[in-house]
Amino acid sequence: MNLTVIGYWGGYPKKNAASSGYLLEHKEFKLLIDCGSGVLAKLQNVIQPEELDAVILSHYHPDHNADIGVLQHARLIQGFLGKEQPTLPVYGHTFDQPEFGKLTYKTITKGIAYNPDVPLTVGPFKISFLKTNHPVPCYAMRIEADGKTLVYTADSSFKEEFIEFSRQADVLLCECNFYGNQNGKSAGHMNSIEAGQFAQKAEVKQLILTHLPHYGNLEELMTEASGQFSGIIKLADEFLAISL
């Protein structure tokens, strides 16, 4: 599996940047995980929108889903220009019907409900879900293919169930929207110390901190998390590429 960070800012995209979006590729299959504001512009540095095989969304907050509409336009217009492409499946939960309804657009994209209680197969990936602690329904994903595992927390404050869910993952893509001296619980987010402790307890190989705050010195997030976690740790960055 190859993971490429397309956007990683929490809440909104920083100037000339993108909020949550991650491209996961395996055996030629291209899955976009979350499609927040700024993602469509940044994605085109890596692949073209018409090359995507599927999209999956953790939840319906604009920093995770705002660019679905422009992704639909991109594929529509490329279709007019002669690039034939199949209907793009966009997987989402159905606990917000108006938002789920927006995932289907003409024959360009089709919203497909995932049942968080049942593992989902998308191309070469097996995806299982864990409901997170967040102000709206949101699902973390454990994505497995050919013996490798990526866990994406999506947005959440820390919850104990994360540890078993993430056990021995090759990569834990963990949200870290707060510094160690801040409490993100009421906002439904984790801080750097919680991310580090979580990674250590779950015995993951590599921790990537993402969904980053717009203030402070981001390197401090790394320092704080690495005080808790003995494995490899990185800050998400534009086009950061990780092979699993």
Residues that bind Zn ion (CB under 5 A): 61, 155
Rounded least distance, CB 30 to Zn ion, Å: 24
Nearer to Zn ion, 138 or 145 (CB): 138
Rounded least distance, CB 204 to Zn ion, Å: 22
Show the 3-state SS of the chain.
Answer: CEEEEEECECCCCCCCCCECEEEEEECCEEEEECCCCCHHHHHCCCCCHHHCCEEECCCCCHHHHCCHHHHHHHHHHHHHCCCCCCCEEEEECCCCHHHHHCCCECCCEEEEECCCCCCEEECCEEEEEEECECCCCCEEEEEEECCEEEEECCCCECCCHHHHHCCCCCEEEEECCECCCCCCHHHCCCEHHHHHHHHHHHCCCEEEEECECCCCCHHHHHHHHHCCCCCEEEECCCCCEEEC
Question: Nearest residue to Zn ion, using CB?
Answer: 61
Nearer to Zn ion, 32 or 244 (CB): 32
Rounded least distance, CB 151 to Zn ion, Å: 17
Nearer to Zn ion, 65 or 228 (CB): 65
Rounded least distance, CB 149 to Zn ion, Å: 23
Nearer to Zn ion, 25 or 155 (CB): 155
Rounded least distance, CB 155 to Zn ion, Å: 4
Nearer to Zn ion, 124 or 184 (CB): 184
